[in-house]
Amino acid sequence: MLNSYACLKMLHRLFLLLLLAGPLSALELKDRLDEPSRTFNNVEKSAFLDVTTLGDRLLTIGERGVIAYSNDGGENWVQAKVPVSTMLTAMYFVDDTHGWAVGHSAVVLHTQDAGENWTLQFDGKRANELLLDGAKADYQALREEYDAADEEAQDDLSYDLDDAEFALSNAEFDSQLGPANPLLEVYFENKDKGYVVGAYGLFFATEDGGKTWFSMANRLENFDRYHLNSIAVLSTGAVLIVGEAGTMFASYDQGESWETLYSPYEGSFFGIQEVPQVKEVLIYGLKGNVYSSADEGQSWDKVATPATTNLTGSTIDENGVVILSGFSGVIVRSTDQGKTFSKVKQSGLEAYNAVATLKNSELVLVSDHGVHFQPY
């Protein structure tokens, strides 16, 4: 039997579904998982959500499955061959040729040629299957334990059983809804081991380069299914996750077990930036909030920045200069390993979704209006 809190959450989700029923029905008319990305004129002006550099190549990903690359500093752009037309949100490369991209409908794409050609490794259909199978197994195991327990033990197990029943209801709900939930971040330790995280607590891992995936969501104490916005493996080996409403988790045993970290801020965090020169890590998010940790996330210190709008992108150059970018065209930098930040620019016109550094002390940034360049 679901407890009253769980019932309220389920009613809230059903209400949201009714509100979204119209747009979702329209999307069902054409499955973007089966539709390759189309070719667009002036592709560099598309809405992009992430950017990276691969040697002399610039690579961007974004709306309608668009992935574009330039080999001449952004003068000319070529569209990659992509098998889906869903929004792509993030990418990660382990070297200059092997990379992965994630996006809406829980897609995971893989390239072995520096982003020119991509293959689909995983999507929301398979994600829903894994989550439903896992929720059924967890509920059945708890049900059997509960039925075999004495009355006192049943009292202790009742809340766990309620949580398992609620998780099963959510998995059934998502399965009926279809492959709708997005993945928001991807990180690979090497060509084999990687993680992806996303909305409503999506968390999957692979140990064979993306050929097969398994859910890690039940290893986190994320009963409210908060969005997981970013994941990174630190140079120390610790794995850190940040997300909605100050959600924070860490693993210190290669992802086998996870602990919930104390969050210094109740607002959402959007990204993680390690500063390996000083063995510290920065997290950043809503309203310009930035925090640093020197002990793998066990404690945090607030970092003052001139930014007051959401920070959504970060990078660090070969000299240890840290760059953060975000809404209202804000760009801030630190030349002292993230201890202090000064403003590079704030135009008020663009929301910079991501940033990367070029070799000539120039930044490449992406927004809903395309690719931009800015000295720093």
Tell me the helix, strand and coil percentages in the chain, rounded to 5: 25, 35, 40
Convert the pLDDT of each residue in 212-266 to its tens digit. Answer: 999 999 999 999 999 999 999 999 999 999 999 999 999 999 999 999 999 999 9
Query: Residues near 163 by Cβ (< 8 Å), separated by ≥ 6?
Result: 6, 223
Q: For 122-142, what is the mean pLDDT?
A: 96
346 band by pLDDT with thresholds 50, 70 and 90: confident
Gyration radius of the chain over CA positions: 21
pLDDT of residue 78 exceeding 60:
yes
347 band by pLDDT with thresholds 50, 70 and 90: confident
Q: Transcribe 273-323 into DSSP letters.
A: EEETTTTEEEEEEGGG-EEEESSTTSS-EEE--S--S-EEEEEE-TT--EE
pLDDT of residue 2 exceeding 80:
no
- What is residue 328's predicted lDDT score, i.e. its pLDDT? 95
Which candidate, 100, 91, 79, places its Cα nearest to that of 37?
79
Q: For 279-303, what is the mean pLDDT?
A: 98
Q: Transcribe 313-371 into DSSP letters.
A: EEEE-TT--EEEEEGGGEEEEESSTTS--EEEEE-SS----EEEE-TTSEEEEEETTEE
- Please state the domain extents for the chain: 4-30+126-177, 43-124+181-375
pLDDT of residue 13 exceeding 60:
no
The Cβ-side half-sphere exposure at 266, using a 13 Å CA radius, reads 0
Q: How many CB atoms lie within 10 A of CB 49?
A: 23
- What is residue 23's predicted lDDT score, i.e. its pLDDT? 45
Q: What is the mean pLDDT of the chain?
A: 92
Which candidate, 318, 247, 259, places its Cα nearest to that of 283?
247
Q: How many CB atoms lie within 10 A of CB 298?
A: 13
pLDDT of residue 97 exceeding 90:
yes
Q: For 21-36, what is the mean pLDDT?
A: 62
CATH code given to domain 43-124+181-375: 2.130.10.10
345 band by pLDDT with thresholds 50, 70 and 90: confident
Q: For 186-198, what is the mean pLDDT?
A: 99
- What is residue 20's predicted lDDT score, i.e. its pLDDT? 42
Q: For 196-207, what is the mean pLDDT?
A: 98
Two structure tokens written together for 138 = 């967890």
49 band by pLDDT with thresholds 50, 70 and 90: very high
Tell me the residue length of the chain: 376
Distance CA 353, CA 308 (A): 16
360 band by pLDDT with thresholds 50, 70 and 90: confident
- What is residue 40's predicted lDDT score, i.e. its pLDDT? 95
Which candidate, 223, 275, 212, places its Cα nearest to that of 249?
223
pLDDT of residue 359 exceeding 90:
no
